[in-house]
Amino acid sequence: MRTTVGIIGAGPAGLLLARLLHNAGIESVVLEGRDRAYVEQRQRAGILEQGTVDVLREAGVGARMDREGLPHDGIELRFDRRRHRVDFPALTGGKQVMVYAQTEVCKDLIAAQLADGGPLLFEAEALAVEGADTAGPRIRFRHEGREQTLDCDYVVGCDGFWGVARKAVPEELVRTYERTYPYAWLGILADVAPSHDELIYNRSDRGFALMSMRSPHVTRAYLQVPAGTEAESWSDDEIWAELDRRLEVDDPTWRLARGPITSKSVTPMRSYVHEPMRHGRLFLAGDAAHIVPPTGAKGLNLAVGDVITFARALTAYVEKGDTEALDTYSETCLRRVWQAERFSYAMTTMLHRAPDATAFDDKIQLAQLDRVTTSKAAETDLAEAYTGFPV
């Protein structure tokens, strides 16, 4: 089996890359270790930056997103029992974000790929990337009970932190940077209309809370909990009561809407970067190369930035013979990655209360939030970062 670009992983990054390459007339094959139902159901990110929204539209897979997604013009910051709205369009020249779940992005991209794209193989387990530093890299994979080989001109690893692509980079060339946080997010989905029409990011002495949504009828909410917490150790009543306590403000019009909780999960918090993001003809994208804590809503959007960069670079080579963008792929992506890491770290440490926090630490957090909400320059920096760094 042979193709121009072998893509490992049918998450949003791998699927979007296949769509971008298809639209540019470049062949690809996508290998996904899980079945289609799993890919279309796994709950992940839900906030799309302006640039992600734009590229989905340009790629021809934005119609359902535009019908069912929820455009947002801002977020609300809560701290010290106060409320402050950050107005994105006013601070960024018109940028928004879109609430549209990763599951729905994947459904749209899978449907497009199966309709008119290149091969998309589910339950095709990638075993190894071989010959990454040669002109003919290949992917060994297992599909329908037998081991096969996909010969490629290029391999793009969109297979996440535990995938095989990153392992093909020789250890002596690798530099990794990592921070693990002492807290996690307990996340819920609930069958109840959202309590607010925009996301609420809340800092309290009891810990962080986030009110989000998946649709006009489904609430997504998160509580900061100690690392290692089991989701089922919190009862439904305890979760709603804790959200109520953390989200308290001096505003009698605010009410937390409660409803049946349909799903609970715990998300660990970590920052991670793998350098370089390219070795020979192997290119890493998304969680295969970097992880951010979810506070800044950057994970999915960073992966999209990576595959846009690769697709543009390969198109420039195919159409013009220009290799510069391919040669500088790692450096180009990492500039954006580190800006996203910076922003996600800043949001995380500003809003979460560490287990060993002192009164001084609390005052510093409140001073940071006060700065964001009283300085147009600081507020603009947050809005520009949240709506997306240029690709």
| Integer Cα distance of 111 and 106 in angstroms | 8
**DSSP H helix total and E strand total for the chain:** 12, 20
Helices (H), the chain: 12-23, 36-41, 50-58, 63-68, 88-92, 102-116, 236-246, 299-320, 324-327, 329-351, 359-374, 376-387
Residue identified by tokens 């997306």 is: 388
| Integer Cα distance of 63 and 57 in angstroms | 7
- Structure tokens of 350? 């500003």
298 part of the active site: yes
| Integer Cα distance of 300 and 349 in angstroms | 21
Using alpha carbons, select from 316, 334, 335 the residue that is nearest to residue 326: 316
| Integer Cα distance of 157 and 164 in angstroms | 8
Q: Which residue of the set 201, 279, 290, 352 is catalytic?
A: 201
| Integer Cα distance of 134 and 8 in angstroms | 18
Question: Strand 120-121 to strand 28-31: parallel, antiparallel, or no bridges (unpaired)?
Answer: parallel
- Structure tokens of 67? 């019908």
268 part of the active site: no
What is the DSSP code string of 136-187? S-EEEEEETTEEEEEE-SEEEE-S-TTSSSGGGS-GGG-EEEEEEEEEEEEE
294 part of the active site: yes
To the nearest 10°, the Cα dihedral for 199, 203, 205, 207? Answer: 60
What residues have CB less than 8 Å from 324, skipping those under 6 apart?
A: 316
Q: Which long-range contacts (CB under 8 A, 24 or more apart) does 322-330 make?
A: 329/277, 329/278, 329/283, 330/275, 330/276, 330/277, 330/278
Question: Strand 154-157 to strand 5-8: parallel, antiparallel, or no bridges (unpaired)?
Answer: parallel
386 part of the active site: yes
Q: Which residue of the set 22, 196, 264, 298 is catalytic?
A: 298
Q: Which residue of the set 72, 264, 279, 352 is catalytic?
A: 72
Q: Which residue of the set 222, 293, 294, 329 is catalytic?
A: 294
Provide the annotated active-site residues.
Answer: 72, 201, 294, 298, 386
